């Protein structure tokens, strides 16, 4: 059990819950504003229109979040690969520089004897 990871996961879940709750409330407010522009609706009609409006808005939000999540996963994979290649190049360059310095040191030692 890793308390730091569990805490981070719990905070991420809480943040997600709060963000989603805010999105639902935003959809409700928009639905109410929309139906307020239609004063001829009966109460039942108003409720139906608001319900459909909220459902559509929530569906759109969910689809957007899924697209964003998928793109974030793609970018994470891409940058992880780039980082691994960059790290390998840096290690190779460092090893080459150390090797060259060692060879130069050895050559200078032999020449100066």
Identify the pLDDT of residue 98: 95
Identify the pLDDT of residue 1: 65
Residue 94 lies in a domain: no
Burial class (CB in 10 A: 0-12, 13-18, 19+), 28: middle
Q: Which domain holds residue 78?
A: 3-85
Residue 51 lies in a domain: yes
Q: For residue 61, what are the CA distances in angstroms to 11, 13, 29, 40?
A: 21, 17, 15, 29
Number of domains in the chain: 1
Identify the pLDDT of residue 4: 81
Q: What is the mean pLDDT of each run of 10 residues along the chain (113 residues)?
A: 83 92 95 95 95 96 94 96 96 95 91 83
Residue 112 lies in a domain: no
Residue 101 lies in a domain: no
Identify the pLDDT of residue 18: 94
Residue 63 lies in a domain: yes
- Our CA dihedral for 82, 84, 90, 94, rounded to 10 degrees, sits at -170
């Amino acid at each position: 059990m890793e308390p730091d990871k569990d805490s981070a996961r719990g905070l991420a879940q809480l943040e997600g819950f709060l963000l989603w709750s805010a999105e639902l409330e935003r959809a409700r407010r928009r639905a109410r504003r929309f139906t307020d522009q239609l004063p001829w609706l009966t109460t039942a009609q108003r409720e139906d229109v608001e319900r459909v409006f909220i459902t559509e808005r929530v569906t759109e939000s969910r689809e957007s979040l899924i697209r964003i999540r998928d793109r974030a996963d793609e970018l994470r994979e891409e940058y992880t690969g780039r980082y691994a290649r960059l790290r390998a190049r840096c290690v190779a360059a460092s090893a080459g520089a150390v090797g060259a310095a060692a060879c130069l040191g050895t050559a200078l030692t032999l020449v100066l004897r």
